[in-house]
Structure 1
């Protein structure tokens, strides 16, 4: 029998997002976070609409986070050998191709936000016809869009000589970020395991929702050679073992796309439960159980999780909003009217939507996703006047997130059933002004959990006396979880 330290067995988690990488260590018995390390990731744009990252930077950031976090464990007098397994959660749709013999990326990672594939989407729409396009949607659950990995991979195969040469030589591997990390962590060129899980595979537009395998018809439609793709596994099984470093021999035993991981992390394991992650983008997932629900109102059908090789899959409807937290970063870095995105909370609270100077802001920098699917849309501000100040622009940016979330929640209510409450997470969920706006607009409680404390933002009725509302205009209930 294994002897563990005072915290018992430990679980490690790689959280690889669009903006940063974390490695966290939890006590398995209590879910307490014992320590973690985080590194920011760069994004670059070689041309307008192109969004790329350095695949090696992503990998090295993960390795550094593991190194520093395990060193932190030693400083806390916790034995890293108590880590019995690790899981991975990652940004989805971002596509990486690499050489199986050298381990080197053949091109930059093309990020999910990238819209360089607009022409490919247009050409496929014209050439294939409505019946064929509908078959793609019915099989994959996803509409033709620049968002998904399928067209990104098609662009790489068509336009990058190094990729075409590697395919011809039988040396090309391709996948989403989870596959890239697992392959490297389990040995890379020395026997690395080329796998993905069903949640990430469901975002490539190449997997059948029913068979949970790469679909021959979809592969033909996008002209993708199947031999370069990873093997599809469940979300909870041992994929392989870490081959080097401070966690040598520890199994990689879980993998979920970041939004599906948030659904599981919020405990949305029953039909009708909904979570929304307010991060770089904004993503609502509605658990539909064992039913594959095809939306009539612009939502995506996706795999929520499959917790073991012999377990049945659970599905979800998803509404994806391309730009959320990125709007605040643009206000900080582009317009330079914010010194820190955290300042948006108190600056937005200084004005309201009835003030002179209030504006409407649609931050469609990379088009609009759910429920509109307008890749040609671009951002716009309406109603600017001489009374408009930076506080109005910042408030309008927060309202834009809430309005897009409402559009998605309305679609979910029509496709399935009205939302009773919304569980919130992500960096922007720490903004209580945003959370109150969202509760007011949806007319349901918005619940944000941190450190085992729940903050439930309730609908604020204008008829309430102002004396009952805190100074920052936020009205919420706070309670400890059982």
Structure 2
């Protein structure tokens, strides 16, 4: 009998539902764009109901197409959920209704709170226990802000009816029944992004909860990335087990088959996220990276850890060129423009729209273009936008090489921006290593499908999938010589310095 696995892939700008077969082939999918809300400068929100509705619509449309292809819903053995991480939601346990809009991972309303927390004499316990820096990026500061600043959230928490979760928790809760007995849990990959989970024990840490002043009764229960959490409560997938839950970047690591220590990938989506598998050892970074859980494939399995470097703005910079500057009609057009010129004409674009993440960690940085002259045209700006992603990835790669002590020789890539040959060739040129792009780039969804399939016995172990998605891989070899590469990178570093100290400048 044929066996299929479904995957919910809920991202920052879109939601998808995909179905894979046992050989890892993508059978069919449906995607819907997700609207973001910007109530104030630096604030980014999602409507929780729109997140849920977009996922349900994607499931219905995908299943309809799946059945038209002659397949049976009963052959879908399980589904998994992968999600934009750090985005923070609060809802009422009694009614299941949201208490506030979701605060998206890129939101910077907590900058002042972050500065206050960093000044505390006991702030060192945070990175020691959870592997993360105190920044506006992670969930705990968003949750602390909600508890202090939103009356609905504060009142619900006081009455012990408030539930906290990242997007995975919200979707899992609703798919498995919502207020009618839905599961309130999150897996260790998502929990490792909250600032609240102890990396060693894989449990909520009482000292961290005390530090951020967060009551433990709002928290979801902790589970592995691959086990049964419940069943779909209603709809076309009613009764199908939900057996995997993973943060999107960790799922992409698994989907790129970075199963072993020393494997690495970079996903170029709304942001760019590079993860390096460090095996069963949680390596503490000394060079601006964060330590996170890569995956735990079973309740009793040992977790794998990863070093991660995050770039806040990658694909969203292309959206900015389209929607804000009206420089292009579609994001795909950037490749065509960038290919018209061999260089940027001396232009460097630091896309620090809401600060810089790893390895800089500067929330006072803002978007900066340097080197503009009367010679500069839109082709140079398009190419400079691609180069910005590559330079930031280069900075992360250098930190990873120092922390891991073994230089990375190949980078596996995925995500929407990786569809551009121009962007990936620039990436190879500026990194000085080969860049490998698989033919099927839905690796985030594939990763969570792998974890879901392992939980129900579709696969017995990850290495059964070693040959999945191997055929048709494109290899980008660096063409830029070392001297030219280093000269460009040093100019980039000067541009980054020019982006600092702008948050106190009055308009």
With structure 1 as the length reference, what TM-score do the two structures score?
A: 0.92
Q: Pick from 357, 373, 389: which aligns with 2:361?
A: 373
Structure 2 matches for 1:271-310, cutoff 5 A?
271-310=261-300
Alignment partner of 1:167 is 2:167 = no
- Answer yes or no: is the 8 Å Cα contact 2:267–2:414 preserved in 1: yes
- Provide structure 2 residue ranges, at least 5 long, that are not aligned to the other structure: 441-470, 483-507
Q: Give, in whole Å, the separation in 1 of the partners of 2:233 and 2:473.
A: 39
Q: Give, in whole Å, the separation in 1 of the partners of 2:397 and 2:41.
A: 31
Q: Give, in whole Å, the separation in 2 of the partners of 1:98 and 1:78.
A: 37
Structure 2 matches for 1:229-244, cutoff 5 A?
229-244=219-234
Q: Pick from 245, 254, 257: which aligns with 1:255?
A: 245
Instruction: Tell me the residue number matched to 1:47.
Output: 40
Shift of 1:354: 6.3
Instruction: Tell me the residue number matched to 2:171.
Output: 181
Secondary structure at the residue paired with 2:8? Answer: strand
Alignment partner of 1:11 is 2:5 = yes
Shift of 1:352: 2.4
Instruction: Tell me the residue number matched to 2:85.
Output: 92
- Answer yes or no: is the 8 Å Cα contact 2:344–2:380 preserved in 1: no
Q: Give, in whole Å, the separation in 2 of the partners of 1:21 and 1:191.
A: 25
Q: Give, in whole Å, the separation in 1 of the partners of 2:184 and 2:7.
A: 19
Structure 2 matches for 1:19-418, cutoff 5 A?
19-28=13-22, 30-126=23-119, 128-129=120-121, 132-353=122-343, 355=345, 358-416=346-404, 417-418=406-407
Deviations 1:431-461 (A, max 9, x none): 1111111111111100000144100000115
Alignment partner of 1:458 is 2:477 = yes
Deviations 1:122-159 (A, max 9, x none): 11122x12xx2221101010001000000000000001
Secondary structure at the residue paired with 1:146? Answer: coil
Secondary structure at the residue paired with 2:332? Answer: helix
Q: Give, in whole Å, the separation in 1 of the partners of 2:85 and 2:320.
A: 22
Q: Give, in whole Å, the separation in 2 of the partners of 1:243 and 1:157.
A: 30
Instruction: Tell me the residue number matched to 1:441.
Output: 430
Aligned Cα RMSD in Å?
Answer: 1.1
Question: How many pairs are equivalent?
Answer: 451
Q: Pick from 421, 434, 438: which aligns with 1:432?
A: 421
- Provide structure 1 residue ranges, at least 5 long, that are not aligned to the other structure: 464-482
Shift of 1:462: 5.9
Q: Give, in whole Å, the separation in 2 of the partners of 1:354 and 1:32.
A: 39
Q: Give, in whole Å, the separation in 2 of the partners of 1:402 and 1:462.
A: 16
Q: Give, in whole Å, the separation in 2 of the partners of 1:79 and 1:354.
A: 52
Deviations 1:4-29 (A, max 9, x none): 3xxx011100000101000011112x
With structure 2 as the length reference, what TM-score do the two structures score?
A: 0.88
Change (3 A) 1:461 1:404: closer
